[in-house]
Amino acid sequence: MSTAARQRPRGRRTGTLMVLTGVIGWLAAFQLAVEHGRVLKDPSHQASCDISPVVGCGSVTTGAQGNVFGFPNMLLGLGAFAAVAALGVAVLGGARLHRRVWLGLNAGALAGVVFVHWLIYQSFYVLGRICPYCAVVWVVTIALFWYVTLRNLRSGVLPVPAAGRGLLDLLLDTHWMLPAAWYGLIAVLALTRFWSYWSSLL
């Protein structure tokens, strides 16, 4: 089997991941935008994601943390996730994206994952709330960053020194383990931060 033939299934997997993360992230950002608009129109409105004193998004979207750049964060998500989904469709359609596009996507995903972790800290330790739709964005952003980075390392878009090839092969073989641990750590932080609430439900 030729190298190109071996790369096609991997390309489809990457494209599928991009479409899924883009669509899911866009839907979560859209729902946040809808709830944000409703809360602005009627401050007494109870958002659909306001489930309990701990789990909710109404107050999160209208606070300073929800408008970091002078406009609602979800607007940034709407544009970014739409672009990711569109690129994913192009990859699934057989398009060969330029190296600069992959680098730009990787840089954007890196910025997104850094921003997401700042928001996680703000949600857990400043606002004291878990926003369900935000959590969906956290999950898909981490997955997008991890798998686009692996794709770029594997394909040479991000150069890997000879000494690091063994480590890269290990990461490719166990690609699911690091994100699983990543999500697990966030879950543990949420469990311990809000343990008094969770334990009251038992």
> Which tokens is 95 given?
């398009």
Structural domains in the chain (count): 1
| Residue % of the chain over a pLDDT of 70 | 96
Handedness of CA 36, 42, 46, 50 (dihedral sign): positive
Mean local confidence (pLDDT), 45-55: 89
Dihedral-angle region of residue 70 (phi above 0 means left; psi in -120 to 50 means alpha; beta otherwise): left
In 3D space, the residue among 109, 103, 147, 126 whose CA is nearest the CA of residue 13 turns out to be 147
- CB contact at 8 A, 35 and 47: yes
Residue 194's CATH number: 1.20.1440.130
pLDDT tens readout for residues 61-80: 888 999 999 999 999 999 99
3-class DSSP assignment, residue 67: coil
Mean local confidence (pLDDT), 38-46: 86
3-class DSSP assignment, residue 130: strand
pLDDT tens readout for residues 3-27: 344 456 778 999 999 999 999 999 9
